[in-house]
Structure 1
């Protein structure tokens, strides 16, 4: 049974929308909004039931994240990544899981997915150091998962390491044009010893091999589910952008006369509305299929590759939709205080994430596609 409450999600979304401008200016999420996001159940969504979590599904998370994104993409991004990183933490050895969720399943865990550090063997663990940029929501985290090149008996391998907040520093480095309120600053570790119980090989995450995995969400390869983490917020933001665009051009959609032009070409805006709404619906259908594949647990390589392709296509499609909406909104829609241009910046930035680039998934998809001739 999921612990996500859509009523609580709506409440968090409304507050996030009201405080979005201030959060952008401060380049970090509003603490009251973060509290509502946690209370709604995002942090515990994928946490194993053994630790009080929901061990929930991808489809229900997609619905909740998109609902948040209709008001504030940065808030939805934080909620989605917190849930997704919690799922990754479930791949740690059981002892490490107990440490992370010792104070309950709502613990905020953030992640640094890029392999940006090194880990030298130190007794029954590793001494980890490095700097990891783009850690969304780090200011509100209790734990973090960081990826580093680790020494092993057979050479080196990429591994994730769980470290508590008191072990890492934070550098104020997040000055991007979009997703400003995510506070995606840099995490710094300096010679921190991490025991084996708080480490998992990246290969295990790719394979979907969580220890004592009973729920389908803990048997899903990382590449089959990771794209949803980043596209769910964009889906919601695109819906929010369309809603705001319709408010801005309502007079033109109704065919009201303009003091300057004396009239408008109503059909142009009707076409824009129909196309944008239809393409957002198409994106939602693709993401729903991705979520259903992940919820089945342990998808085969072909479906895993298709999920990656679909998420990349969705990101590109939604960025194009929101770009057209902004360009057709006129100067009013591009005002610095206008939510529409915030949605545009956020979707454009989110769609630029490395995990959503079509060239990076196209090769894998082609090798798995039934359309590729044998031999």
Structure 2
């Protein structure tokens, strides 16, 4: 490691658990400021959690996907906005180091403090091919974690000098992602939402900025430049997968909150506290089982896919479909579990500041993300259904 960040003596998940109480104490300020507070950013950086998927030689943890997901779940349990922003930073950083030109990756990450990335990698901008790189222009949204990021991603379609989009051999537009130093980006604010408020998912603009080839990558590349198995999951596998543990963290926190509330809450019609009622206990057991089963499905699927890559095997289309399936499904699970907790929480669900109220709002917003739209389940079914079709011949 060439950087100055010291390797913690513990593992990454233990480090996340150690700073979780600090994050919980800062959650109200994070929501008020619409971004992670400096205190929390410094704690996450000190434990190097921004660089979960970055190889050790660049100052990162060099973790696999499952261990990284578990860290995101724990931070999301402490605060949904912080977990979401960390997920956006750590997983876009993993994508960058796994698919950028090695020279460009070294310039960004092999530094005293490795780069932190954020931003929109979908090709909503446009760029003109010039000698040595691209001139990029575009307006982007949802740059979660951008307030503390040092490099900002900007996806674009490549155009020629006459303004015509360049096409691949299959007739599709040529799409790439650029990573720009944050001083080259104009931040536009515009983050006023009901949930995940503290993610700092600001709009931003890039105007005719030159980006060298080494700081760009193919948007839809399936061939990583690094040998670590985690990168075989691809841009989509890594970028989508991080949403699952955020949902798990929100659901777990909601169960923790309602268990505490119900243990002391009295209501008319109940003989004792709400938590002693048969109705509450039955529902709690049901929804707790739902979280436990969802967690195992998330981690089992990601672990199996990464194990296949480590063994030199191809990750199958069904495995990739199931990764999409579980990440969307777990959002629905979180919504149901948080809804259960909200209903039993009574006035403690609706007063501000309220951890349970924040879980309710965060879970509602998380389900609206493009990458977990219900249509992804339809797409996943295409590869999953054949395994259930009985041969009749």
TM-score, with structure 2 as normaliser: 0.87
Tell me the distance in 1 between the aligned counterparts of 2:318 and 2:235.
14
Tell me the distance in 2 between the aligned counterparts of 1:102 and 1:170.
26
Structure 1 residue 42 corresponds to structure 2 residue 56: no
- The answer for unaligned runs of 5 or more in structure 1 is none
Tell me the distance in 1 between the aligned counterparts of 2:248 and 2:119.
22
Structure 1 residue 333 corresponds to structure 2 residue 344: no
Any idea what the Cα deviations from partners look like across 1:108-150, whole Å, max 9, x if unmatched?
A: 1113133221111121211101111100111101102221112
1:137–1:182: 8 Å Cα contact kept in structure 2?
yes
Give the corresponding residue for 1:201: 218
Give the corresponding residue for 1:24: 31
| Match of residue 276, structure 1, among 284, 287, 296 | 287
For residues 182 and 263 of structure 1, do their structure 2 counterparts lie closer, same or farther at Cα, with a shift above 3 Å needed?
A: same
* RMSD between aligned residues: 2.2
For residues 47 and 328 of structure 1, do their structure 2 counterparts lie closer, same or farther at Cα, with a shift above 3 Å needed?
A: same
Cα deviation, residue 78, structure 1: 1.5
Give the corresponding residue for 1:80: 87
Tell me the distance in 2 between the aligned counterparts of 1:50 and 1:8.
20
Give the corresponding residue for 1:170: 187
| Match of residue 236, structure 2, among 198, 219, 223 | 223
Cα deviation, residue 106, structure 1: 3.5
Tell me the distance in 1 between the aligned counterparts of 2:33 and 2:94.
29
For residues 262 and 160 of structure 1, do their structure 2 counterparts lie closer, same or farther at Cα, with a shift above 3 Å needed?
A: closer
Any idea what the Cα deviations from partners look like across 1:276-332, whole Å, max 9, x if unmatched?
A: 211111111111113203422251111001110111111111111101210221122
| Match of residue 251, structure 2, among 225, 238, 246 | 238
For residues 100 and 335 of structure 1, do their structure 2 counterparts lie closer, same or farther at Cα, with a shift above 3 Å needed?
A: same
Tell me the distance in 2 between the aligned counterparts of 1:228 and 1:105.
26
Give the corresponding residue for 1:247: 260
- The secondary structure found in structure 2 opposite 1:130 is strand
Cα deviation, residue 165, structure 1: 0.9
- The answer for unaligned runs of 5 or more in structure 2 is 1-6, 161-165
Give the corresponding residue for 1:292: 303
Structure 1 residue 306 corresponds to structure 2 residue 317: no
For residues 132 and 262 of structure 1, do their structure 2 counterparts lie closer, same or farther at Cα, with a shift above 3 Å needed?
A: closer
| Match of residue 210, structure 1, among 215, 220, 224 | 224
Number of aligned residues: 365
Any idea what the Cα deviations from partners look like across 1:163-208, whole Å, max 9, x if unmatched?
A: 111111111111111010111101210100111111111121xx2x
1:132–1:186: 8 Å Cα contact kept in structure 2?
yes
Give the corresponding residue for 2:163: none
For residues 44 and 197 of structure 1, do their structure 2 counterparts lie closer, same or farther at Cα, with a shift above 3 Å needed?
A: same
| Match of residue 157, structure 1, among 174, 194, 215 | 174
Cα deviation, residue 274, structure 1: 0.4
For residues 92 and 248 of structure 1, do their structure 2 counterparts lie closer, same or farther at Cα, with a shift above 3 Å needed?
A: same
2:89–2:149: 8 Å Cα contact kept in structure 1?
no
1:224–1:305: 8 Å Cα contact kept in structure 2?
no
Tell me the distance in 2 between the aligned counterparts of 1:151 and 1:98.
28
- The secondary structure found in structure 2 opposite 1:175 is coil
2:108–2:114: 8 Å Cα contact kept in structure 1?
no
For residues 262 and 161 of structure 1, do their structure 2 counterparts lie closer, same or farther at Cα, with a shift above 3 Å needed?
A: closer
TM-score, with structure 1 as normaliser: 0.91
Cα deviation, residue 270, structure 1: 0.4
Cα deviation, residue 372, structure 1: 5.3
Tell me the distance in 2 between the aligned counterparts of 1:346 and 1:154.
39
Tell me the distance in 2 between the aligned counterparts of 1:363 and 1:137.
29
Larger mean Cα displacement after TM superposition, 276-285 or 113-122? 113-122
1:44–1:105: 8 Å Cα contact kept in structure 2?
no
Larger mean Cα displacement after TM superposition, 32-41 or 171-180? 32-41
